[in-house]
Amino acid sequence: MMSSQVSSSESIGFALLDVRIQQWIWTEGWTSLRDAQERAIPALIDADQDVIIAAQTAAGKTEAAFLPILSHLLRDGNENQSVIYVSPLKALINDQWDRLTDLCERLDISVTPWHGDITATKKNKFLKNPKGVLLITPESLEAMFVNRGSAIPELFASLKYIVIDELHAFIGTERGKQLQSLIYRIELAIQKKVSRVGLSATLGDMNIAAVFLREKSTGNVSIIDSKSGNHEIQILVKGYVQGQEDTAINCTHAIAKDLYKKLHTSNNLIFPNSRTSVELYSDYLRQFCEDNSIPNVFWPHHGSLSKEIRQEAEQALKDKSKPANAICTSTLELGIDLGAVKSVAQIGSPTSVAGLRQRLGRSGRRKGEPAILRGYCIESEINAKSAIPDKLHDGLIQTISMINLLLTGWFEPPPANGLHASTLVQQILSIIAEKGGIFVFDLWKILNVPFPAIEKNDFLELLKNLGEKKLIVQDSSGLLLHGEQGEKLVNHYEFYCAFSSDDEIRLECNGKTLGVITQLVPPLVGQGIIFAGKRWRVIATDQIAKVVSVKPDKGGVPPMFSSVGRSMIHDRVRQEMYTILSDDQPVQYLDTVGEQLLNGARFFFNDLQLKSRRVITTGNSLFLVTWCGDIINDTLVLIFRKKELNATNEGVGLSISNIDTEKFFAIVTDVLHEHEHETLDFFNDIRIPFSGKWDWALSKKLLVKSYCSSYLNVQAALLWLGRLTTKNC
């Protein structure tokens, strides 16, 4: 690791480290500490404050945290103390175990990985002597509370730090709320505060991150926001036009051909936007290798593949003796150390600016090398019947918008307003398991801190609802216990996850697991499928065991994996799209086709007068151009559907069928009048989708509150409607 920030001889931080760690640094050949590392050492060395370390990918965040943490553990009398490192991914735990083991073995500090794939022998060793560094997932931490609740105070009695890696991946999620609750419960169990440390490359709002790290934070979180290491970025976005008679396969084939030509001699990451696309591109690229008589250098990587197949791709990228490319989902977006890659390819519009930054951070990590981004956008050929989003080439414009925002340094702040009532149900059942029963008042005192947005009346109503569903019971003394249904669910391994997962079908070849698919209808015998970047034929199915046996074949199509939820586009991204279309300046990083598509989109933008126009009549329907993010658009959809309008979120706006402008504005007037004093009662008789694992256990009132807090913004939607006038037509 090299840096030009400060030499070790001048470094204040270096002098604070334990001499054994100083020796390790010199042995590793470092000539200096990086900016984040230099600043983190004095902040963390005494374990007396919470710290957030925000720095770009490959800026040495892990070392920034652990060099001072391990130095603290090496102080006199601290040798039996412990650290919890929480990761969102098992693969990242394995990676960090490799990364920390060499140093920690020299220091005689134990490092224990703990997740579902780790042997009981390793886990029992930590349980007998709970010291050193424990690398764990939230789910495994949850399992500790449920199965070893009475042992928690002793297990973590000497805990000094809790490190949360990839902090941004937890904020605003059910899993993140679970983690907040578990950390608070640890501190309650050991009756002391522990230094909390958050690591991330993409935190759009440090105040939100600080509050997440420590509930009811009063500004006592030390924030290290390292801006060092900025370097050149090279970008090329290529446009492809899918004709009316073409299939998408033609453009996919053309993109795969370009990827092969540009990437087959180096190490790169390729990000399509779905697991199905990963399989399709992996198959094409493998075939190109075969056609050109070279060994395959393209490897699929996504969450449905077996651990062994994913590790093949990871090892191929780490082996720098020959070229390797991974076609991947967000599984390689987080901080697994793959070494430097030459470039990153993004197929289709990125899911977020923050995600694009994570991905691009993999490239250009060697000194003097630029980060390289290749973008590929497929747009439909335009005709008289084309929808407005198609005429505006919204996929390409969204890609340009996100790249422009990336270049300015902006990315989405984490969502932090959710009640997360689904996870509250899980934590109620978990605490009952940990304590062997608990009184209502004591339960409220525990949960009120990690769930501050839950009102007491809603909490009591929830307990009543859980009792009706036999998840909990209350004995004659008032003690809350598991009910008949609750006991069954808590004793199942799936309880530990705060999020729900689909039923999985395992794919096998000669007894070896290839991975899992989550199709509602399993593949039929004789069906050809593409999986793990190869082609197979189904030879047998076992519906009871949920196993599909396959053999190698020459035909097939990728399976349709279940959706993991669409990405929610931020208001700022759509506002930038408006700015791009309003402008007449060229975008320097587009190829010729991309420029033509941009010019065509700008022509339609001006022709439709979209600089000021918001309501467009198309036959007997309307298109409402909002330039808002998906939260406001989705809220407007529900408001209009309550008024029995057929409204659909189309990205840059809403389509509303079978209505004229006069009736539409009359309805808008009614809506604004009804909501002079904003209330969520408006949504009480609307069917709210179950988005959380335990939503089925919530009362309708709490379900509405929880859903609206995470996925809707009534106030912003009404404000937008209030600015709408007939002049916008």
Domain boundary among 522, 537, 552: 552
Q: Has residue 265 been placed in a domain? A: yes
Specify the pLDDT at position 52.
Answer: 96
Question: 218 and 260 in one domain?
Answer: no
Q: Has residue 12 been placed in a domain? A: yes
Question: 375 and 509 in one domain?
Answer: no
Task: Measure Cα distances from 606 to 37, 389, 602, 614 in Å.
Answer: 51, 14, 6, 13
Q: Give every CB contact of residue 476 below 8 A, 6+ residues apart in sequence.
A: none
**Dihedral sign computed on CA atoms, order 120, 122, 128, 132:** negative
Specify the pLDDT at position 686.
Answer: 74
Digit-coded pLDDT (tens) for 344-391: 999 999 999 999 998 998 888 777 789 999 999 999 999 988 999 999
Structure confidence at residue 49 as a pLDDT band (50, 70, 90): very high
Specify the pLDDT at position 709.
Answer: 92
pLDDT above 50: residue 7: no
Question: 149 and 185 in one domain?
Answer: yes
Q: Give every CB contact of residue 484 below 8 A, 6+ residues apart in sequence.
A: 470
Digit-coded pLDDT (tens) for 549-574: 999 998 888 877 766 667 899 999 99
Specify the pLDDT at position 233.
Answer: 93
Question: 218 and 89 in one domain?
Answer: yes
Least confident of 1-10, 406-415, 698-707: 1-10
Question: 192 and 293 in one domain?
Answer: no
Digit-coded pLDDT (tens) for 123-137: 999 999 999 999 999
Digit-coded pLDDT (tens) for 282-339: 999 999 999 999 999 999 999 889 989 998 999 999 888 999 999 998 878 776 777 7
Question: 191 and 320 in one domain?
Answer: no
Digit-coded pLDDT (tens) for 431-488: 999 999 999 999 999 999 999 999 999 999 999 999 999 999 999 999 999 999 999 9
Question: 367 and 333 in one domain?
Answer: yes
Question: 660 and 535 in one domain?
Answer: no
Question: 528 and 386 in one domain?
Answer: no
Q: Has residue 82 been placed in a domain? A: yes
Domain boundary among 388, 408, 428: 408
pLDDT above 70: residue 653: yes
Characterize 575-601 residue by residue with b for buried, 16 or more Cβ atoms within 10 angstroms of its Cβ, and e for exposed: ebbbebbeeeeebebbeebbeebbebb
Specify the pLDDT at position 666.
Answer: 94
Domain boundary among 385, 408, 431: 408
Digit-coded pLDDT (tens) for 10-19: 678 999 999 9
- Segment 602-607 shows an average pLDDT of 97
Question: 290 and 255 in one domain?
Answer: yes
Reduced 3-state DSSP string for 81-107? CEEEEECCCHHHHHHHHHHHHHHHHHH
Is the whole-model pTM more than 0.85?
Answer: yes
User: Cα separation of 422 and 489, whole Å?
Assistant: 14
Q: Has residue 343 been placed in a domain? A: yes
Q: Which residues, in sequence order, are bridge partners of residue 536? A: 529, 552
Mean pLDDT score of the chain, rounded to an integer? 90
Question: 349 and 260 in one domain?
Answer: yes
pLDDT above 90: residue 146: yes
Residues spanned by the domain of 361: 233-408
User: Cα separation of 330 and 310, whole Å?
Assistant: 13
Residue 404: CATH number of its domain: 3.40.50.300
Q: Has residue 206 been placed in a domain? A: yes
Pairing of strands 528-531, 534-542: antiparallel
Specify the pLDDT at position 185.
Answer: 98
Count of the separate structural domains present in the chain: 4
Instruction: Return the structure tokens found at 536.
Output: 């197979």
Specify the pLDDT at position 676.
Answer: 63
Strands (DSSP E) found in 527-628 = 528-531, 534-542, 547-552, 615-618, 621-625
How many residues can be counted in the chain?
A: 729
Angle value at C-alpha 600, between 598 and 602, nearest 5 degrees: 70
Q: Has residue 447 been placed in a domain? A: no
Question: 160 and 192 in one domain?
Answer: yes
Q: Has residue 494 been placed in a domain? A: no
User: Cα separation of 344 and 362, whole Å?
Assistant: 7
Q: Has residue 606 been placed in a domain? A: no
Instruction: Return the structure tokens found at 452.
Output: 């501050």
